[in-house]
Every structure is written in structure tokens, then in C-alpha cells.
Structure 1
Amino acid sequence: MEEWRPIFSRFRLIIVKDPDLEEVKIPEGFDVCVYTESDIVKVIGSTKASLFSGYSVRYFGYLVSNKKYTIAIDDDCSPAKTKDGDLVDIVAQHLNNLKTPATPFFFNTLYDPYQKGTNFVRGYPFSLRGGVPCALSCGLWLNCADYDAPTQALKPDMRNTRYVDAVMTVPLKSMMPMSGVNIAFDRELVGHAMLPALKLVKEGKVRWETKEDVCCGLVVKTVCDHLKLGVKTGIPMGEALEGSPIVKSRKVIKELEICGFTMMFVLDVSQFPNSDLCGLVLHGSV
């Protein structure tokens, strides 16, 4: 947390302790509210508390937050630096993404036209330049990128070393996964959809085992398309620590089957009449 002090010390932090981990040590000087397993049981109930364990504890933080904008950073993610060596203000960049419109209906080849130093490309319809509200900002990260287990096993030395100073809107009807390592969202717009939609039994203790955020991304993007909201991806960038996955063929096959089923489910649901879409997607995911 010391690395994040210049950025996080200005804000109230919610830390959710994984029941299987040791005591959390928090340096002085932070405005922190720590939630433990007993808090999860008190709010969720003992029968559902297991949903909020491992990497899924982040979703309990989403649940108890009462702010309009929620920004989530994994504990193994550290601040990145720009090409000039400046510390990336991950909060300011996420807020800028969420507070400026998104452009999902017509792709702007100059990336996000609302970022400093860019604008709409020639030929972009003036009727669409007002954009739509942005509900979700998906940041990226350097070093150990968020590959799935088979990819990490085949290419264990692959690292992301390119700092890309750009952000773009994910186009309408384009499906996407989501990672909770570095994201921000507008709770008033999509907070109800930010839940551990699908969790594999006895998994989720390491990032490459988790599938709930991938499936949650499919659901949230479908909801955003229906509600005419936008999703952005790109900056801000963080830096993830090293990982060393151990892959079992049976588990990998199961993960691929589940992800394929979930994608087909969301695509099928998106064909329903508009009045039924959101209810069906959220009910199916929870």
C-alpha cells in the first residue's frame, strides 16, 4: 500500500479480507474500512458467504460501497509509470473515463475523442458525437498480463512491457470478458450487475482459476448495450506481479466449456424483446 500512498491516501478505502488469508497489515495514514468473514456472513448469510471468497471477495466491496463511482484494484497490482516516468494516477484516469461520454455506436479511429489531444475522426456522424454515459472503465496492466491458464502454461515468460497511452469504447454488440484487477464502474448505472455471476467449486484462489469476472463482463456488457451505456478499455494501466499457473487438463477443459456456454447464453438472451432482456440476464447470471 505504500506504493499507492500518493494516490489512495486522498480517498476512503474498502478492504475485504479473504477468509483464508492471514491478518491484513495496513500502514497508518489511510482512511480504511476493513471487512472480514464475519461481516460477509452478517450481510449475505452463512449459506451464500462462500461466494465471496478468493478473488471473489472484491464483489462484497462492490456491495457495501455507497459511492457513485467504485474503483477496484487487486492487492497484487502496483502503480505503473508513464513513458516519461510519471506515476499513473489510476483514480483520476478511471474517473475521467466514467465522467466523459462513450461512443459505442460508431467506432472512432482516433480512439476516445474526449481524451486530451484527440477528437472525432473525419466522417464521424455529428448526430452521434454527444455519446452516451460510460458505465464501466476497464483498465489494463503491465508485466504479467491477464492470460488464461493454457496460454500462461504455453508461454510462461510472456510479459506485457508496452505502455499504451490510449483508451477506446468497446463497440455495440461486441462481447468482452472483464477482469477485476483494475476496473471502475458507475454503481447507479450497473452496480446491480457487478456480482460473482459464475464461480467454479473450490476454485478462485488464484487469478487464472477465476471465471466469475469473465462471465460478469459478458453480462454487464450485454446490459450496457441494452441500456445504451458505454464501456471503455485501455488506460489507466497498473502493473501486476508475477504469476506461475499450474494447469490440469480436466480443469482447463471444464473452464472452456463453461465460458462457451455462458457466452452462448448471453447471446441467446440478447435476442429477447427489450422489455425482458435485463431481467433475464441478471436472473440467469445470479
Structure 2
Amino acid sequence: MRAAAGKESPSSSAVGGTPLLKDELDIVIPTIRNLDFLEMWRPFFQPYHLIVVQDGDPSKTIRVPEGFDYELYNRNDIKRILGPKAACISFKDSACRCFGYMVSRKKYIYTIDDDCFVNPSGKEINAVEQHISNLLTPSTPYFFNTLYDPYREGTDFVRGYPFSLREGTPTVVSHGLWLNIPDYDAPTQLVKPRERNARYQTLCVICDHLRLGVKTGLPYIWHSKASNPFVNLKKEYKGIFWQEELIPFFQAVVLPKDCTTVHKCYIELSKQVRERLGKIDPYFTKLADAMVTWIEAWDELNPSGPAAEVVVVNGSSNGK
């Protein structure tokens, strides 16, 4: 692990005063390359602590621009810290960010990929601030409001929206959306290489069960896909077939009433993955094992354990 805290430059000062939740939020970034993209995000990210999780060759040096307070973990660090449980951390994809969630000691986590940029329209959009605003206001998962997010300034509940539901539910995930390059799978990306998204497109069994809210929408950030669609196809091809089984599985999942925490829900979900998806491919049996190991590793690194609940922002943030 390497850590650095550079001298603050004038450009790194918070936009509009003291940053929201400055001491309560970490930014988690999975990467295989130098983090030059941070220069564009400097006005918004520099006030916060960064946790960088390096995928790929651990002998490669990842350069982080000066002036950022960060810690960096590679595969060797993760094996040293988690020991045999390190197998629950996925590598060769951006899911290695999950280790950053484990080691963060903050209530909220904002996570972003290294191929996502500030919208080049010229209008400054503080994505971190918008996600925080989403998390600090309720969600409305039980009745659709035809105006986007009635808790945002300039909008409200429309005629006919039940007053009994206007208090909403706590928001635990704020999921931002991409402009420019859509989040296509590899085959679609290959047949539509020039397609760009000028609109907005698009979780959750556990959230629904625990009556927690997820917001998908603002903020929108610019996606400039750095991955190779041919490499992606090698990684994704089984999933293209599996999704026809996975989607009905998640649509039909029911969690018992005694699953009253995220921990309990996740363990129960691992059992159902093993029982119902294990017959599709041995991968899902390994996945079920890894889900249990993940909870065990989380509890080791976060002694408060099951009492600590998780909040996530994508784009984005997680809170514990």
C-alpha cells in the first residue's frame, strides 16, 4: 500500500465553500492505469480522501496526480490483508473496488471509473454533491412520481400522489448515469461502435426487502469507454447466456422475514444462488462461497459488523 497527501493548490479548494460530508466520505477508484483523469475532477475530488484499488499487474506503478490525499492497494496488499479470504475480491474487472468498500472507515463511499469525466458541455456539475443530496433525501420506490425526484429543488409531488407515501424511505444507493458511450455489452458495442448517448439510460432485491430506497438518474457524467470490446467479449460471453436465467431468478427471489439486516439478506441470497443457480454452472457455487467469505472478511475489517449498515453511491456513493 502507498499513501500520499500533497500540498493543496488553489485549484483544489472546494467549489462554493466547505465540501459536503468532507470527513464522512471516501472516493473509491478501481484502475489499471495512471489516474490523469483526476485533473478534470480536481475541484470536486481533492477535498476528499481517495482509496485507489489497482487491478492487474501489482508490479506496475500507478501515478496519482499531486495534491490528492490517497491510499493505494494492489493485489499483493489485498492478499496480505485478507489472507485466504482475498479470493472473494474479484479482479480483472472493476469489481475489485469492493475491497475499497471494506477498508473505508467513512459513512459514505463515492465510487467512479477512471474513464468517466466531467460533462464537456462547459457547465460545471459537482457530481459528488449531487449524489450526497440524493442520499440525504428520501426515495419513493412504492409509487411513481412523474416529476423526477420530488425532493429536489424546483419539483414536488404531482396531483394524486398519496400523502401517506410522501415521507418516502431512506435512500441507500444513488446511481448516476452515463452520457456519450452507452453501457453496452460487447456484441452490441461491436455492431454499434459509433453510437453515442445524448439522453439518459439505465437495483434491488435486498433494498426492496428492507424497504430502502435507490435513486437512479442525476447526476449525469461523461463516459469515454477505455476498454476493448473484443477483450470484453471474452469476459462476457458466458454472461450473455446466463442472464436469461439470472433475470428471472432475481425477479422471483423472496427473502424471509427474519432477514432484517443487509448481512442476513446477503447470506440468505448466497444460499439461494447456490441452490438455484449452481446447477447452471460451477461458477455460481464459487460465487455463493465468495458471498459468504465477503461477509466474513467485512466483519474482520469492520468489527462493528452486522450493526453497520451500508449506503452506496455510484458515479457514485456507499455509506456504512
Q: Same fold (TM over 0.5)?
A: yes
TM-score bucket (shorter structure) = 0.7 to 0.9
**Residue range with higher mean Cα deviation, 124-133 or 25-34:** 25-34
Counterparts in 2 of 1:10 and 1:251: CA distance versus 1, 3 Å: closer
C-alpha distance 274-92 of structure 1, shift in aligned 2 (>3 A): same
For residues 112-160 of structure 1, the C-alpha deviation after alignment (integer angstroms, 9 at most, x for no partner) is 0001110000000001000000111110112111111121122111111
The one-letter code sitting in structure 1 at the alignment partner of 2:66 is E
CA contact (8 A) 1:140 1:238 kept: yes
Q: Deviations over 1:141-192 (max 9, x none)?
A: 1211111112112211111134x6xx9xxxxxxxx8xxxxxxxxxxxxxxxx
TM-score, length of structure 2 as denominator length = 0.65
Displacement after TM superposition at 1:51 (Å): 3.3
Q: 1: distance between equivalents of 2:175 and 2:258?
A: 28
Matched-pair contact (CA < 8 Å) for 1:150–1:247: no
Q: Kindly indicate whether the alpha-carbon contact (under 8 Å) linking 1:17 and 1:36 is maintained by their aligned counterparts in 2.
A: yes
> Aligned pairs, how many?
229
Work out the CA distance in 2 between the residues paired with 1:248 and 1:89: 30
More displaced 10-residue stretch of structure 1: 237-246 or 67-76: 237-246
Unaligned runs of 5+ in 1: 168-175, 177-216
Number of the residue aligned with 2:35: none
Q: Secondary structure at the match of 1:59?
A: helix
What corresponds to 2:221 in structure 1? 238
User: Which amino acid in the other structure matches residue 113 of structure 1?
Assistant: P
Shift of 1:43: 2.5
What's the counterpart of residue 303 of structure 2?
A: none
Q: 1:98 aligns with which of 135, 148, 156?
A: 135
**Aligned positions of 1:157-196 closer than 5 A:** 157-162=194-199
The residue aligned with 1:59 is: 98
Whether the aligned pair in 2 keeps the contact of 1:266 and 1:281 (CA below 8 Å) is no
Please report how far the alpha carbon of residue 19 of structure 1 lies from its aligned counterpart in structure 2 after TM superposition: 3.3
Q: CA 1:30–1:154 in structure 2 vs 1: closer, same or farther (change >3 Å)?
A: same
Q: Report the equivalent of 1:190.
A: none
CA drift of 1:259 comes to: 2.0
State the Cα distance separating 1:24 from its structure 2 match.
0.8
Tell me how far apart the structure 2 counterparts of residues 79 and 123 of structure 1 sit (CA, whole Å): 37
What does the per-residue CA deviation read over 1:54-75, in whole Å, with 9 as the maximum and x for residues that have no partner? 2222111111111111110111
User: What is the 5 A alignment of 1:1-286?
Assistant: 1-20=38-57, 22-46=60-84, 48-49=86-87, 51-54=89-92, 55-81=94-120, 85-162=122-199, 217=203, 221-242=204-225, 243-246=227-230, 254-270=238-254, 272-275=255-258, 278=265, 279-283=267-271, 284=273, 286=291
* Structure 1 counterpart SS, 2:229: coil
TM superposition shift of 1:94: 0.6
RMSD (Å) for aligned C-alpha atoms: 2.5
Look at both structures and tell me which one has the larger radius of gyration over its CA atoms: 2
